[in-house]
């Protein structure tokens, strides 16, 4: 038996592969390496160098490797950029998920954990987001993630697909120095790269309706997130019923300016961030309650924001 991880060469995907292996489960990685890194995947893990849009080869990989469950992380994940590239975003995230589900049906694989997003909520009108909060995405990226959830729901109704979707909030930190966030758009790597290169980090917008004017987010450590995937997959494989959607959040928000302060402390580099305009598609505040995931998946926040920043800095230094 093995678990197929789409996007397993990425920052989050590679941590998920690591978590499955630590749990004693074999993995197969499907990745087209458009943003992933081959060196993030252990040498003894089977790699299928294909896009998830290639239904035939993905189905073949499932059959040949005795895959019994899928964790679906592959996709185009940049909310701001998706506003300029909506067709590409829909192709990768919607058509890609349709293709993956078709491959699963062909290979008789009946369990999937889907990487969804807080972007499905848009800008909530509540202080704490729960799974009952209305979904009003404000970017093509958020829309495609919501459609992905609908696709799983409909496949479940049509042919018994067992599924759950995990709505992530801001994922940061590193479990080991070998795995780190290389996104050109995420806050942590943008700040750390700037500091390493002697540039001044930037804040995108200080006119949001938040206490200090900067975006407020719910930051979670990537290792905690990866563990939640393992538990969800194990429960689906055991035939247990799960909710269709879980928020993975802390219930506490941290502003971008507060992150900058934590960065200065962790790195020992004193700086005053440069302020620029808002990014399109960025909501002011998203903070979520993780009570449902705590009940069913054992979800808990095991890392403070200072630990998250310190682990990200340690990994970035290892690759400076």
Q: Are residues 94 and 195 in the same domain?
A: no
Q: What are the pLDDT digits (tens) for 87-98?
A: 999 999 999 999
Annotated active-site positions, please?
A: 141
pLDDT, position 63: 98
Q: What are the pLDDT digits (tens) for 13-34?
A: 999 999 999 999 999 999 999 9
* Alpha carbon of residue 169 to chain centroid: 8
Identify which of 93, 248, 95, 236 has the alpha carbon closest to the alpha carbon of residue 168. Answer: 248
Q: Are residues 239 and 290 in the same domain?
A: no
Q: Are residues 193 and 290 in the same domain?
A: yes
Q: Please tell me the distance from the alpha carbon of residue 67 to that of residue 121, in angstroms, as a whole number.
A: 32
CATH, residue 60: 3.40.50.720
Last residue of a domain, one of 248, 264, 287: 248
Q: Are residues 307 and 164 in the same domain?
A: no
Q: Are residues 148 and 276 in the same domain?
A: no
Q: What are the pLDDT digits (tens) for 218-231?
A: 999 999 999 999 99
Last residue of a domain, one of 209, 228, 248: 248
Q: Are residues 83 and 177 in the same domain?
A: no
Q: Are residues 277 and 304 in the same domain?
A: yes
Q: Are residues 254 and 160 in the same domain?
A: no
Q: Are residues 189 and 211 in the same domain?
A: yes
CATH, residue 188: 3.90.25.10
Q: In the chain, how many domains are there?
A: 2
pLDDT, position 285: 85
Q: Are residues 159 and 186 in the same domain?
A: no
CA dihedral of residues 143, 225, 166, 202 (deg, nearest 10): -20
Mean of all residue pLDDT scores within the chain: 95
Q: Please tell me the distance from the alpha carbon of residue 12 to that of residue 180, in angstroms, as a whole number.
A: 9
| Percent over 90 (pLDDT), the chain | 89
Average pLDDT over every residue of 244-260: 94
Q: What are the pLDDT digits (tens) for 137-194?
A: 999 999 999 999 999 999 999 999 999 999 988 899 999 999 999 998 888 999 999 9
Count other C-beta atoms under 10 Å from residue 178's C-beta: 15
Contact indicator for 263, 195 with CB cutoff of 8 Å: yes
Residues 6+ apart with CB under 8 A from 22: none
**Is the predicted pLDDT of residue 53 greater than 80, yes or no?**
yes
> SS3 for 117?
strand
pLDDT, position 320: 67
Helix (H) or strand (E) holding 266: helix 256-267
pLDDT, position 286: 85
Q: Please tell me the distance from the alpha carbon of residue 191 to that of residue 180, in angstroms, as a whole number.
A: 14
Contact indicator for 101, 161 with CB cutoff of 8 Å: yes
**Is the predicted pLDDT of residue 281 greater than 80, yes or no?**
no
Q: Are residues 122 and 166 in the same domain?
A: yes
Q: Are residues 284 and 244 in the same domain?
A: no
Last residue of a domain, one of 248, 264, 288: 248
Lowest mean pLDDT segment, chosen from 192-201, 255-264, 279-288: 279-288
Q: List the domain range (segments joined by +) for residue 312.
A: 173-217+250-318
**Is the predicted pLDDT of residue 5 greater than 90, yes or no?**
yes
């Amino acid at each position: 038996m093995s678990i197929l991880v789409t996007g397993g060469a990425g920052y989050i995907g590679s941590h998920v592969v690591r978590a499955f292996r630590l749990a004693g489960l074999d993995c197969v990685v499907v990745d087209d390496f458009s943003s992933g890194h081959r060196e993030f995947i252990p040498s003894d893990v089977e790699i299928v160098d294909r896009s998830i849009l290639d239904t035939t080869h993905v189905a073949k990989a499932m059959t040949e490797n005795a895959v019994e469950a899928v964790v679906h992380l592959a996709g185009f994940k940049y909310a701001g950029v998706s506003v300029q590239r909506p067709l590409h975003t829909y192709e990768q995230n919607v058509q890609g998920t349709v293709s993956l589900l078709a491959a699963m049906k062909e290979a008789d694989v009946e369990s999937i954990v889907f990487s969804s997003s807080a972007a499905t909520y848009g800008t909530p009108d509540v202080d704490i987001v729960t799974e009952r909060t209305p979904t009003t995405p404000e970017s093509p990226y958020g829309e495609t993630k919501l459609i992905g959830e609908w696709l799983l729901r409909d496949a479940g109704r049509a042919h018994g697909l067992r599924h759950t979707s995990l709505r992530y909030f801001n994922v940061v930190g590193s479990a080991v120095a070998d795995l780190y966030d290389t996104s050109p758009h995420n806050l942590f790597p943008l700040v750390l790269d700037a500091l390493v290169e002697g540039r001044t980090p930037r804040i995108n917008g200080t006119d949001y309706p938040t206490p200090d004017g900067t975006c407020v987010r719910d930051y979670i450590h990537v290792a905690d997130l990866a563990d939640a995937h393992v538990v969800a997959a194990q429960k689906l494989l055991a035939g247990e019923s799960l909710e269709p959607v879980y928020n993975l959040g802390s219930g506490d928000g941290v502003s971008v300016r507060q992150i900058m302060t934590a960065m200065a402390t962790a790195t020992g580099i004193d700086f005053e961030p440069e302020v620029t305009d808002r990014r399109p598609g960025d909501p002011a505040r998203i903070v979520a309650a993780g009570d449902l995931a705590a009940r069913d998946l054992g979800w808990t926040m095991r890392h403070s924001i200072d630990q998250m920043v310190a682990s990200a800095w340690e990994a970035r230094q290892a690759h400076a």
